[in-house]
Structure 1
């Protein structure tokens, strides 16, 4: 799948992006994680790329929760 460094970066970005939501909001966290994995699969593995993908995903999840 991904190398150790990319996996650690994905995890760090997930935690960074989701720091403003409750840990029990599993649906939103799952959506963000899924979008981060999609971005990384497409080769978007820089910190900036992943932050952007995560932020977009969190916005999408926030709209869906309303």
Structure 2
């Protein structure tokens, strides 16, 4: 579990990374969110690094979700 400050950071990064993705693309957004959460639970809290992780997850999201 992450603290409230980290959760807010993750939400902000998720919204930034998925800004061009429809809110209805829930599979893609969930995939990116999961990767961000994994990184945060490993201790990653640097915003630029989280954004990079999120962009990589977005790029690698299964095409069936797009």
- With the length of structure 1 as denominator, give the TM-score of the two structures: 0.90
After TM superposition, give the deviation of residue 49 of structure 1 in Å: 1.4
Listed as ranges, the gaps of 5+ residues in structure 2 are none
Listed as ranges, the gaps of 5+ residues in structure 1 are none
- With the length of structure 2 as denominator, give the TM-score of the two structures: 0.90
After TM superposition, give the deviation of residue 53 of structure 1 in Å: 0.7
After TM superposition, give the deviation of residue 42 of structure 1 in Å: 1.0
Instruction: Give the count of matched residue pairs.
Output: 64
Structure (1/2) with the larger helix percentage: 1
Cα deviation 1:5-42 (Å, max 9, x = unaligned): 10100000000000111110011000000000010011
Aligned to 1:23: 23
After TM superposition, give the deviation of residue 2 of structure 1 in Å: 1.2
After TM superposition, give the deviation of residue 3 of structure 1 in Å: 1.3
Look up the SS of the partner of 1:19 in the other structure.
coil
